[in-house]
Chain A
Amino acid sequence: MSTAADRAAQLDLVARLRSSYPELPDAPPPDLLDHDRFTAYMKPVHDVGGEPDVPMKYENKEYEYWEHMTYVMCEVLAWRGIWLSEERRRIGNVDVGRAVYLGFPYYGRWLLAVARVLLEKHHIGLTELAERMAEVQRRFAGGLSGRTLTAKPAFEGDGTQVKRNSHVVHALGKGDPQVYAGRAGEPKFAVGDPVRVRELPVLFYTRTPEYARGATGRIAALAYESPAPEDETWDRPGAEPEWFYVVSFTMAELWHGYNGTATDTLRTEIPERWLEPVD
């Protein structure tokens, strides 16, 4: 079982990971890659909570039109059953790898996720995407010169044969997570129960933050029933809903060397599979 100091040390280790650890050769032989570094490489890169960082100036920036259009396109793709938003989160926030995750603008990653899902689910081909991009580049060669940036589809396609998920049918008029209500059975934990967050091996995706894994907290509320992100992010057929809990942690126990007060707390939501009782 990890301690708060162990967890802080692991976050320090992750923070130094760029594309690879400089102390190791590229593509190291397996005997040079220890468990902690294996874990750092496999860490879903969106999980930045608690990684060391220094203050920066917080500022707004002009919201560019393509950013707004990218947000809208992602939401419309989910609305029309092309993906679950949980698929978008994995594809755009994790599958991109650390270099693109930290190197790209926020909505740049959303946009890459659109291209990725349309290709992986065979809605478009990479060649036609590249040809269309080249055509758009030609259309706007020399800049906008006062023109408006406008999409000009050649025609409106017939969408009746497009493969869509069933979520948009089932959730209609109910909402999500309400569509899963009453399907997870009896909750294993009750409000007030002390729980420990399990330290399951993590490959590819989870929404249980690294900073909480191995830590002990208390059930603050039963949240809802839903498939766990590990299943939902692949829209896995037959994924069963389970209970989610709001778990409260005391900051001074969660963080090695916490310098706030003894009463400060943090709450986060964790699915049942990640929790075990504390004797």
Chain B
Amino acid sequence: MADHDHDHDHDRTVKPMVDEVTDFEVLEIALRELCIEKGIFTAEEHRRFTEFAEQIGPTPAARLVARSWLDPEFRALAIAEPMTASKEVGVDWLEPTGFGTPSDFTAFEILVDTPTVHHVIVCALCSCYPRPILGNSPEWYRTPNYRRRLVRYPRQVLSEFGLYLGEDIEIRVQDSNQKHRFMVMPMRPENTDGWTEDQLTEIVTRDCLIGVALPRAGVTTNVVVATRPAVHPVGE
């Protein structure tokens, strides 16, 4: 079993060790060992998927948007054949199993914002999210709170992310409750004339791709950046 190597940079923080071994850790180890001993899967298969899961993140999606802003042909491709466009930014939705990541399916659609329509995604049933091109979802996206409220009070929830949209803009909530996975293509912001694809990619944050933020020149971080450390036992 390969050890978890953490000299590389994640967009999330992985905590490899805690002081007290928790019930969840015990159960995970026990189940993994039994699966390998019974030949349900091999240690090599587990290692391969782990490596795959550690290299996914929102950068390809940001690049896809930036390229679409610069190249009308690519933009048309991204709308018509989003999985073909994904390949051009390095994401093959059939990887790593040959039929996709099982929980995410291979049905992808890009929701294109216009001056009068703003999209925002949620999965009110669990946390369906375009992992292959956005990486794992943020913790808040999975909370019952976000899932309960976004489908009913989208303007209030967006305001809690600092996003206030006028009455001339239709908010279109996409509840991705089945097999389709969605991401938002926001509009190119002002004050970015002459920018390169790399420069534009930097301002397309994960939150912009979910639809809880809009890209702005000079802003390269997500709205929610506070990270609560995991401490076991609680209160130490």
Please report A residues at the B interface, Cβ cutoff 8 Å.
Answer: 46-53, 55-56, 58-80, 82, 84-85, 88-89, 93, 102, 105-108, 111, 114-115, 118, 123-124, 128-129, 132-133, 135-137, 140, 143-144, 148-162, 168, 171-179, 207, 209, 211, 223-224, 226, 229, 244, 246, 251, 255, 258-261, 263-271
Q: Confirm or deny: B42 has a beta carbon within 8 angstroms of a beta carbon on chain A.
A: yes
Q: List B contacts of A174 (CB < 8 A).
A: 99
Q: List A contacts of B53 (CB < 8 A).
A: 68, 71-72, 75
Docked complex: B131-167 residues within 8 A CB-CB of A: 136, 138-140, 142-149, 151-156, 160-161, 167
CB distance from B194 to the nearest CB of A (A): 34
Q: Confirm or deny: B217 has a beta carbon within 8 angstroms of a beta carbon on chain A.
A: no
Contact of B226 among A59, A89, A123 (CB under 8 A): A59
Q: Are A111 and B13 interface neighbours, CB within 8 A?
A: no
Q: Sort A-B residue pairs by CB-CB distance and give the 6 closest, nearest first.
A: A159-B39, A49-B124, A175-B106, A78-B102, A157-B39, A58-B140
Q: Are B178 and A207 interface neighbours, CB within 8 A?
A: yes
Q: Confirm or deny: B234 has a beta carbon within 8 angstroms of a beta carbon on chain A.
A: no
Chain A to chain B contacts (Cβ below 8 Å), 27 pairs: A59-B140, A59-B228, A61-B139, A65-B15, A72-B49, A77-B41, A89-B126, A93-B126, A124-B38, A150-B1, A152-B1, A154-B33, A154-B37, A157-B38, A157-B39, A168-B97, A171-B98, A175-B105, A179-B99, A209-B151, A211-B151, A224-B179, A244-B179, A251-B171, A266-B173, A266-B174, A269-B177
Q: Are A137 and B148 interface neighbours, CB within 8 A?
A: no
Q: List B contacts of A159 (CB < 8 A).
A: 38-42
The total of Cβ contacts below 8 Å across the A-B interface reads: 338
A67 to B28, CA, bound (A): 9
**Given contacts A264-B171, A267-B174, are A73 and B28 in contact (CB under 8 A)?**
yes
Most buried by B among A102, A136, A174: A136
A108 to B63, CA, bound (A): 33
A260 to B159, CA, bound (A): 12
Q: Which of B19-27, B71-79, B195-203 contacts A (4 or more CB under 8 A)?
A: B19-27
Q: Are B99 and A173 interface neighbours, CB within 8 A?
A: yes
**Given contacts A132-B34, A179-B99, A207-B125, are A156 and B172 in contact (CB under 8 A)?**
no
Q: List A contacts of B170 (CB < 8 A).
A: 261, 263-265
Q: List A contacts of B32 (CB < 8 A).
A: 69, 73, 151, 153
Q: List A contacts of B160 (CB < 8 A).
A: 55, 58
How many of chain B's residues touch chain A, expressed as a range?
35 or more
Please report B residues at the A interface, Cβ cutoff 8 Å.
Answer: 1, 3-4, 12-22, 24-43, 45-46, 49-50, 53, 93-94, 97-103, 105-107, 122, 124-127, 136, 138-140, 142-149, 151-156, 160-161, 167, 170-180, 224-230
A16 to B99, CA, bound (A): 41
Q: Are A155 and B37 interface neighbours, CB within 8 A?
A: yes
Most buried by A among B41, B94, B174, B228: B41
A128 to B103, CA, bound (A): 28
**Given contacts A49-B151, A74-B103, are A151 and B1 in contact (CB under 8 A)?**
yes
Chain A residue with the shortest CB-CB distance to B12: A63
**Given contacts A72-B53, A153-B37, are A176 and B105 in contact (CB under 8 A)?**
yes
Given A68-B50, A70-B28, A72-B53, 10 additional A-B pairs, CB 8 A: A47-B124, A50-B151, A53-B149, A65-B17, A67-B24, A72-B50, A176-B179, A259-B155, A265-B172, A269-B177
